[in-house]
Amino acid sequence: MDFEKLIPLMRSLAIEAGEKILEIYNADDFEVKTKSDESPVTEADEAADALISAGLRAAFPDVTLITEEQSASHQLKSDTFLIVDPLDGTKEFVQRRGDFTVNIAYVEKGVPLRGVVYAPAKDRLFITDASGQSYEEIGPFEASAPGEMKKMSVSTPDNDALMIVASKSHRDQATEDYLAKYKAKDSKSAGSSLKFCLVATGEADLYPRVGRTMEWDTAAGHAVLLGAGGDVVRFDDHTPLTYGKEDYANPFFIAYAPGVELKDA
């Protein structure tokens, strides 16, 4: 893969998609439909999906592309692919809470090597460069020209005073029971793939997910966290979380900064 070509494209497409999403988000009203799995989908999801898909297919026609909105028609026949969630956190979007993101990632042999996570309503953008190092870009964001880039690195955690982040929309009793095994200094909630990015910036040490997610929900944030020195492992046996599964469904997982003493499920 030509990362010198891919990274600027992923960034510009994420920003352009974010602009379309905000146009709809800031409108007086927008339609919300329900997909077959009972999850919501809006015209913003569909518009962002169309824009990103067209851009990636034009530049990399020979690379498999998986997107959430088109996943029913995809057949994954390669261990190398691009994977997109054009609007991660649709529930946050519908409720106008701002914690939604555009996620674009590149996966090779099960590992998300490069990614961009853009939160247009939060004015935050996280990206891996061509070498795999992660940065937070300081806005304002222009699709045609990168701004100031701030290198990201995970925290050095204190296991007697951990900073924990968990899902805003899916913080259930199973999550609370697991979090109770740790000594927490602070615990916050966030939506979408922003949770990975908060661990990547050092704003949090630990993000456990005891609930359903799909590969397009996590790949970009996972890539950003890897590029900042963090890791993501399965909840059950602490082996690496991998990609390219037949149904795109993830097991439960833990994203963390090395040094966190992980507890058993």
**Where are the alpha helices (H) located in the chain, listed in sequence order?**
3-25, 43-59, 90-94, 173-179, 194-200, 215-227
71 closest CA partner among 193, 219, 192: 219
123 is in an annotated binding site: no
42 closest CA partner among 67, 55, 56, 25: 25
237 is in an annotated binding site: no
69 is in an annotated binding site: no
Given a contact cutoff of 8 angstroms between Cβ atoms, the answer to whether 227 and 200 are in contact is yes
231 is in an annotated binding site: no
Q: Which helix (H) or strand (E) holds 125?
A: strand 124-128
88 is in an annotated binding site: yes
Q: What whole-number distance in Å separates Cα of residue 166 and Cα of residue 107? A: 25
Q: What whole-number distance in Å separates Cα of residue 75 and Cα of residue 52? A: 19
99 is in an annotated binding site: no
Given a contact cutoff of 8 angstroms between Cβ atoms, the answer to whether 218 and 241 are in contact is yes
* The one-letter amino acid at 120: P
Q: What whole-number distance in Å separates Cα of residue 110 and Cα of residue 15? A: 26
In this structure, what token pair is assigned to residue 225?
Answer: 């966290």
Given a contact cutoff of 8 angstroms between Cβ atoms, the answer to whether 200 and 127 are in contact is no
Give me the residues paired with residue 241 across strands.
none
Residue 7 Cα distances to 102, 118, 163, 169, angstroms? 14, 13, 30, 30
191 is in an annotated binding site: no
Which residue ranges are tagged as binding site?
Answer: 68, 85, 87-90, 217
Which residue ranges are tagged as binding site for substrate?
Answer: 68, 87-90, 217
Which residue ranges are tagged as binding site for Mg(2+)?
Answer: 68, 85, 87-88, 217
